[in-house]
Amino acid sequence: MTIFNGQVRKVNRSLKYSILDGAAFSAMLGLTQDYIVPFALALKATTAQVGLLTSIPNLTMALSQLSAPKLSEKAGSRKGLILPAVLLHALMWLPILLVPYLFPGEKIWWLIVFVTLSVGFGALANPAWGSLMADLVPERIRGRYFGARGRIAGFVALVFAVIGGTILQFTASNVFLGFSILFGGAMLFRLVSLFFLTRMYEPPVSNGNGERHRLIDLVKSLGSSNVGRFTIYVAMINFATNMASPFFAVYMLRDLQFNYLTYVIVTSVASLSTLLFLTFWGKRADRAGNVKIIRITSVLIPLLPLLWLASRQVYYLALVQTLAGFSWAGFNLANTNFIYDATPPEKRTQHIALFNAMNGTAICLGALLGGFIAPYLPPVLGYNLLTLFLISGILRASVVAILLRRISEVRRVSKTGIIGLLFGRRPPV
């Protein structure tokens, strides 16, 4: 009993450390996520180069995660891989912030190289981290825990995104100084995240029946298994989404001529909306299952890029971003929890690696295609990027119509209609 209680205390302490890790990671994210493309535009990047800046790092992310299960085995533990990967991820912000000052030639290519390395190192830790968290968080509270953790992380990311935009606005006369401050802060917060990761407890991994589990076997079963079909579905949604996603920043900053403060207001609305709705979706995912959440949000996701065609007004775009935050909060939370629920512990690292790798590849190909075709598209309402947004919305709708019905829930959950799920109260236990 004493040993059991001691382990419970370790788990509870680790879940608190994970929230602090998530907060520090999100501070890094808030200072960088929405500012890499503006940084590239300040370095005179073209639309095609912005596509490469998104696609090449995501392809690297996909390939690096395929090697993560073997590297984790060689390291002897999941934390044995997570900690050095996170350290390298943190240190890569240093050459990124030095790109305008130290590197010769077309600086955008140096930025692509260093962002690619940064993303690759960060991605190495993801499958092992996901496996670790799935072992630490009890299944019955995953929706609520990750919803609460995500809400805290989202709030921190939002605050630092606003801080980042404000810094850039005040350093507009020397914008590279502003970016250096942002990326230097990002490195510091990622190191803080690393500290909290070192404090977390790692439960032993179940070996199942003792047989080795190969990624190639999971690849072969993609079309025939429920989790495989789910992986294909999410990857195709990400492909269709990222045909347009990297170019919303280009549309706002280059085409609509938004200043940095207006840009950060519009982008932050989505973060704020995500923050507000994570707990909302988490409670409903625990009660009604993840697939029902995915079905509801999958209806909304194809509409999001289409709504950008209706108006260029900041207030209108803020409303669109509110709907985007609502939709993606539920979709991404349910995706993560579904993978944790649908995979056995002994295969979870491999499943997460394959899931992330396929999504990274899909994001890469979508961004590459979008960046390649955007300059050649006929304009809609005066802008060829709006044509790209239209294509992305139609493709998202096609993926939902063809693939979503082939995915089924893996947990026993209460039967709840859409109206009851969205607006009803939780029934008494």
pLDDT digits (tens, 9 = 90+) for 334-345: 888 888 777 777
Q: Taking the mean position of all CA atoms in its chain, how far away is CA 171? A: 29
CA distances from 318 to 207, 308, 331, 362 (A): 49, 10, 20, 27
pLDDT of residue 267: 86
Tens of pLDDT along the chain (429 residues)? 444 456 778 888 888 989 999 999 999 999 998 889 889 988 888 878 888 887 888 788 777 777 777 777 777 778 888 899 999 999 999 999 999 988 877 889 999 999 999 988 888 888 788 878 878 887 777 767 877 888 888 889 888 988 998 898 888 888 899 999 999 999 999 999 999 999 988 887 655 444 445 656 666 666 668 888 888 999 999 999 999 988 898 899 888 988 888 888 888 888 888 888 877 887 777 777 788 889 889 999 999 999 999 999 999 999 999 999 999 998 998 888 888 777 777 677 777 778 888 888 898 889 889 988 988 999 888 889 999 999 999 999 999 999 988 888 776 766 666 666 666 655 433
| In a domain? residue 429 | no
The single residue listed with the structure tokens 């990671």 is 25
Residue 2 lies in a domain: no
Other C-beta atoms closer than 10 Å to the C-beta of 408 total 11
For residue 219, the domain's CATH number is 1.20.1250.20
Q: Are 179 and 187 in contact (CB under 8 A)?
A: no
Question: Counting beta carbons within 10 angstroms of the beta carbon of residue 33, is it exposed (0 to 12), middle (13 to 18) or buried (19 or more)?
Answer: middle
Reading the block at residue 180, the tokens are 């250096």
CA separation for the pair 222, 229 (Å, rounded): 6
Name the β-bridge partners of 380: 383
Structural domain containing residue 106: 7-201+215-423
What pTM did the predictor assign? 0.71
Query: Considering the domain boundaries, does residue 206 fall inside one?
Result: no
- Helical (H) or strand (E) element with 317: helix 314-342
Task: Answer yes or no: is 1 within a domain.
Answer: no
How far, in Å, CA of 147 to CA of 333, rounded? 7
In a domain, 209, yes or no: no
| Tally of structural domains, the chain | 1
Residue 64 resides in a domain: yes
DSSP secondary structure code for residue 380 in this structure: B
At residue 414's C-alpha, the angle toward residues 403 and 208, to 5°, is 70
| Euclidean distance between CA atoms 219 and 229, whole angstroms | 11
Asked, for residue 188, whether it belongs to a domain, the answer is: yes
Q: How far is CA 70 from CA 192, 214, 399, in A?
A: 27, 10, 32
Contacts of 76 (CB under 8 A, 6+ apart): none
Q: Over the stretch 377-422, which tens digit does the pLDDT of each residue have?
A: 998 888 899 999 999 999 999 999 999 888 887 767 666 666 666 6
Q: Give yes or no for a contact between 281 and 149, defined as CB atoms under 8 angstroms apart.
A: no
167-178 pLDDT, tens digit per residue, is: 988 888 888 999
Task: Report if residue 319 sits inside a domain.
Answer: yes
